[in-house]
Structure 1
């Protein structure tokens, strides 16, 4: 009986000491987060970044808020910070408005403010090397999200596999065309690593089929209006187009409307899980239109925040985390299209329904 009382007293003392001296919280789960499909075997020793007990101040730097995907992407981190409020004291969000100098200045500002960690969507794979190095030398872990960057420039990276996007969507298109046909290709921004890697994967597939003819590859900045103009010009130049490969964004929506305006039959097209495109697809499906859509999760930032917090608590973190959503097909479209939400909504997120409705002004 005395022994049991002694054990109870020891347990009480240990609990009191943990509360008094701030026992380290358990590591946050990464592997089981929504859309995570792969975690690298390489682990980063975060000893140099370990801070005293939480909560922490997190610097958050985005490229822009110019489209709705970016807005959802931003809200994912803010919502996750709210869920983890015992670990996060404050989030300082700075937006680069699409300009490299502004993103560099934002990181410098966060270093000066002595934030505990930085989560960033890097605007360039090369231009930020110096400032990201300075941040880490100051003891600030840097977690890159979404856009690809050389891994030696950051503490860790979380994002999608853009080469796989190109490869799988191209394979689908080739299959629909039975290995032969004339196609046009639409890419995002010239020189952008996302656009180039998606095309790299697609081109690897197309090059295996000598009877697949690439009539043209044009850049349309992932935009609806730009893509509609580009495809309208291509339709005037090419009387026969058998398929459209698109690097995502809102470009497939523009391509569809260009074909309809020109009175041309809709061929198979590749797209991304934008609600406006999926609504078009849903309405055209009874007429025989077919597509495949890549889901680009917006919760990369939420996963990035978890990596940053684990680093601050001194836990080893994986060097890379790959998070991708499902490929939507004619058979699964109805599971993802949201007829009750605006065109700007993106499938593939981990946002609460009330936040989604707030973002898009839906009651």
Structure 2
């Protein structure tokens, strides 16, 4: 408990002392006029896919945003925080053309996060099939999670949120709210998931006790799975995700309710995993990447995090899996950062969450 408390208290100091000054860089605007762009993904032919929360899938080709969206995107429930979230190409996209979309679906009284698999055929999606849906359904337009990533074994993981009003469900194993889930690319359940065969538990669960995780990334060099999630007023967390682990929400948290009331008397709790880093006050983290690239070699293995409320990009300096410092990157950029991705050439791509949103590319100057 003392160690975690010290981490939270030192976070502002670490930010000021987190390493050398920002390296010389150039920020190029790749697209403008987007409706709350949520995610970007890179295709083998050099094109870049961009999701808009309103339910459109856009393409940046040759450095220009194509006017016509991709057709065939499944209908999304666009309300509050709901809409189209991640787009994730299959690891063998070059041969199978498969894409995976996470999105909110349903009605105001009954909605959930879904995953759909589809094939990109020219400028359209075909063979669209829903392969996963969070259960039970909820009646709130908030806290969907929706970040996806591929593990090294080819399985697909995704974060799910607690629906804002369903926080106790994050501790229940008979539902999928407030979890990290793991499935196969066809939607089937891997036989080695931790709760397969456990009475009363959903077999899709990989980890539990999450609030609203909007960052998920696999270190391509080590296979380590990183996640971050929003706390309420305080208590944002960076977590090292392990099979079957319970990350505490809402039993253990540094956050307080928006009314100012306490949520739990515990900041840490027996048999529940503490975050490797917490942020109080909240920075509202969204988007997460592990930097492995040639363009910024001094950041190898570090986490790159977007911040919505604090409107910046932040580097979490790691020594293995231990946090040793933090640094605000690109001080000339102040914007609500929704997504952070590392491109094949090592450039860092960002989406800016606004009514007239942008996609940015950061390169070394």
What TM-score comes out, normalization by structure 1 length? 0.29
The structure where helix makes up a greater share of residues is 1
Looking at both structures, which has the greater relative contact order when contacts are Cα pairs under 8 Å and sequence separation is at least 6? 1
The structure where strand makes up a greater share of residues is 2
What TM-score comes out, normalization by structure 2 length? 0.28
